Amino acid sequence: MKFFIDTADIDEIRDLAETGLVDGVTTNPSLIAKTGRKFTEVVAEICAVIDGPVSAEVTALDAPGMINEGRKLRQIADNVAVKVPLTPDGLKACKALSAEDTMVNVTLCFSAAQAILAAKAGAAFVSPFVGRLDDIGGDGMALIADIVEIYDNYAAFTTEILVASIRHPMHVIEAARLGAHIATMPPAALRQLYDHPLTDKGLAAFLDDWAKTGQSILES
């Protein structure tokens, strides 16, 4: 499974990229607005840090506008993935941009039917929002299971399932168990994946025992 981080905070991106765990980044206008910086400058800086796909979202609502914005965004860097909403116009834009060899991330997916449409429109990625479904009493992971099953039935579907709106480690674990290709999560959620009290307890015990020896590896 690939890990993307959902942020526009360049310091967080640089820090997590050093772990070797980050395969890409997803952003949106809300995240970039929090930086107080120019949209295209932030995207360009992220693309320079991360080799993998960096999703940058259009703001137009009509297909011609999305296509024009998508063409502008892809000029920023080769690894830009243009993010469009899962609407009729968004699917038109996806079809047109994909035909021009542009990576497209179709976002705001909340049903298996929508995921089928994204695949047929040639999306590189589809982003089902599991956390938002859970928030309204739905079952986000059941949606992931449905999409994985459907996509596996058709070799012509090359769209990767990018699980979004992840709130906690179990979302990541369940998505991986079901066979989703990618999980995108806030930096804090990624860090939660390697936190465990028994790891901390074990390390503290090892270091305590080592301190009692009075030795130093570098000085031995």
Q: What is the DSSP letter of 168?
A: S
pLDDT band at 145 (very low <50, low <70, confident <90, very high): very high
* 212 catalytic per annotation: no
Mean pLDDT of 125-129: 98
pLDDT surpasses 90 at 140: yes
Interatomic CA distance for residues 39 and 12, integer angstroms: 17
Confidence (pLDDT) at 134? 97
Is residue 8 pLDDT above 80, yes or no? Answer: yes
Give the mean pLDDT of 25-43.
93
Tens digit of each residue's pLDDT (9 = 90 or more) over 169-218 = 999 999 999 999 999 999 999 999 988 999 999 999 999 999 999 999 99
How far does CA 208 lie from the centroid of its chain? 39
Statement: residue 35 has pLDDT above 90:
yes
pLDDT band of 71, cuts 50, 70, 90: very high
**pLDDT tops 80 at residue 61:** yes
Domains and CATH numbers, the chain: 2-213 (3.20.20.70)
Q: How large is the average pLDDT for residues 66-88?
A: 98
pLDDT number for residue 219: 85
Q: What is the mean pLDDT of residues 22-39?
A: 94
Is the pLDDT assigned to residue 220 strictly greater than 80?
no
Q: By CB neighbour count within 10 A (0-12 exposed, 13-18 middle, 19+ buried), where does 213 fall?
A: exposed
Give the mean model confidence (pLDDT) for residues 75-102: 98
Strands (DSSP E) along the chain, which ranges? 2-6, 24-26, 54-57, 80-85, 103-109, 125-128, 160-163, 182-185
Helices 140-152 and 169-178: crossing angle, nearest 10°?
20
pLDDT in tens, 146-163: 999 999 999 999 999 999
The active-site residue out of 83, 92, 120, 201 is: 83
